[in-house]
Amino acid sequence: MAKNLVIVESPAKAGTIEKYLGPEYQVMASMGHVRDLPASKLGVEVEKEFQPTYVIPPKARKTITSLKNALKDKESVYLATDLDREGEAIAWHISQALDLDQRSIRVARITFDEITKPAITAAITHPRSLNQQLVDAQQARRVLDRLVGYTLSPVLWKKIYKGLSAGRVQSVALRLIVDRERERQDFKPVEYWTLKALLAKQSGERFLATLTEYQKKKIEQQTIKTEAEVQKIIDGLGGADYRVQKVEKKPVKRHPYAPYTTSTLQQDGVNKLQISSKRLMQVAQKLYEAGLITYMRTDSVSLADTAVAAIREKIQADYGQTYLPAKPNYYRNKSKNAQEAHEAIRPTDPSRRELDGDAVTKKVYDLIWRRAVASQMQPAELEQTTATVAAKEAVFRASGQRIVFPGFLKVWGSDNKEEQLLLVLKEGEAVQLQELQSEQHFTEPPPRYTEASLIKTLEELGIGRPSTYAPTIDTLIQRRYVTVEQRRFTPEEAGYLVTDLLVQHFPEIVDQNFTADMEEKLDRVATGEARYGQILSNFWEPFSRQVEENTSKIEKVDTSQPTDQLCPACGAPMVIKMGRYGKFLACTRFPECKTTQPLIATEPTGLICPACGKPLVQKRARKGIFFGCSGYPACTVALWKKEQLPAKIEELAKEGAELPYRKESLEAFSKL
């Protein structure tokens, strides 16, 4: 019978670890958190040094009972939760919930970067005690988030509408999106022109060169402002001879990227694989639990010496000595608040190039494998060629580059920017003008944030932790503060209302510098440089006073919009109101009359229903926006995306539905 109990967080890895440890060890899962702050109240004794009051959630009670039963015949218990602060706190909560300090049983804390036999064996042979500083750091962050959320959210409910929420990281992320959208709205495009010469060698080969100098004046992006100005230059070049003035070649090195951290993996998951950060982290979690990659929540770019040696061995075997640096490549953290001691994300076995599984899992593993292996390879060597072509008082420039030695690109892959070949040109060579190409441009507003660019910005500003980015973004979407269009965030009305209220009345909560400074203070708790209670007290005293003073001054935000509809119950006018699930119709005699109705039609789509010929309109449900027939409930045709209309028509036809407007519907679809 097993004498030792090992407690992990997830049941997915329990079986693997038990197999590695043998019959002396029983491995059980806590199923994540076993204690938390109560959902129904603040749960923090602000007058008693911010002492949190924890409860065991109903879903964890059965788990705690099972763990207590398993402890009865054990000599030792190993708390083997994840190795970050969250994992340290979960281990402490397990210890508290099981009353381990009251039992005559040996208690040890163990951590590991990867779920492999050597890592698990090493962890068991090198146990330690719980790190209370890490526990306090996580508690401080959790309590601070509770203080902000449970204090400000009721203000939003009272002054805007119920169902809204504010958060220490969430509200700053929302402000970034809202501020960016307003920058775009205020943006005034500026006209400018570029001029290119299409030139040909005597052999007939052609190339493009861009005007970079005219009359000894440097031509930059917005130098030529009007069509008249560019035409004047074109006229001045009439009859000019074009000759290659200078050809410069210089070597360029492109160095490999550091191995993945949580945030850089999330960014590439969005950009390269086009999956959400939430989905990416779910897949990475499964890969970790299967023992295929190291722990996926990290802001470290370092690799263990044994891992580097294994990667270098793989490079030597598959690509040869020329791709292997004489010494390993080392990287420095760029993240503002990077402090975790464990490794970057890498495959546990670099010799495993591919794996079985669904397409997304394969792609995520491949990305991690290529990034880790490429990080230990030689730089890519390129040759950059720049040619200047003179014509009267004008200088044109053409450039290109070629890969001399691929280096790490052999594994990481090229994005085709490396190979931009330029024709072989010689100094003094005459070339023939084929055409002068002038083109009008307008300056572009700053782009809307994508998941990747928002995560990158939050990390650069030092706001939040890598593990918080995915749930923060998910909250913004679920609260209907933002919508995602073409993978970019657009604020919704609720997002503007919440941000404006917080900026006006609680500016520090949505101030980037204040939030980043608070993040640094929380990090100092983990190192013992700051005390849990003092950090919270310094924040809470001015914050709570500000909330108390300002709340009464904030006017109720009227989100209602008049309509021409009358209440079916009392005949009073109906107005459009906003709620947690979107807009709806409500009687103006509320609270005397509590009649509400769903808001059927919102925005026209240009589509028509194939069944009844009425317009398909944009509607809103709890799960998000969809497109439904304006003839509802008589007609129930609906789809989630416009692009699904042809497939929806085929589906309805197979089911035997009458579709008299099928042709007209498809014609309308084709015109969009």
Helix (H) / strand (E) element for 2: namely: none
Looking up tokens 């994540």 gives 32
**Helix, strand, coil % in the chain, rounded to nearest 5:** 40, 25, 40
Q: Which of 295, 319, 323, 469 does the annotation list as catalytic?
A: 295
Judge whether 373 and 406 are in contact, CB under 8 Å: no
- For helices 512-526 and 451-461, what crossing angle results, to 10°? 70
Q: Which tokens is 457 given?
A: 């910005």
Q: Which residue has the tokens 């990227």?
A: 257
Which residues have a Cβ under 8 Å from the Cβ of 593 and sit 6 or more positions away?
567, 569, 570, 572, 587
Phi, psi angles (nearest 5°) of residue 286: -65, -40
Query: Residue 62 is encoded by which pair of tokens?
Result: 């059965």
∠ CA 54-59-63, rounded to 5°? 90
Radius of gyration of the chain (CA): 31
> Could you count the other beta carbons within 10 Å of the beta carbon of residue 338?
18
Helix (H) or strand (E) holding 156: helix 132-159
20 is catalytic: no
Give the contacts of 129 (CB within 8 A, at least 6 positions apart): 108, 109
Q: Which residues pair with 402 in a beta bridge?
A: 383
Residue reference for tokens 């390269």: 272
Q: How far apart are CA 493 and CA 491, in angstroms?
A: 7
Dihedral sign from CA coordinates of 624, 629, 630, 631: negative
Q: Give the DSSP H/E element, type plus range, for residue 615.
A: strand 615-621
Q: What is the DSSP annotation of 161-224?
A: -TT----TTHHHHHHHHHHHHHHHHH----EEEEEEEEEE-TTS-EEEEEEEEETTEE--TTS-
| Residues annotated as catalytic (active site), given as ranges | 295
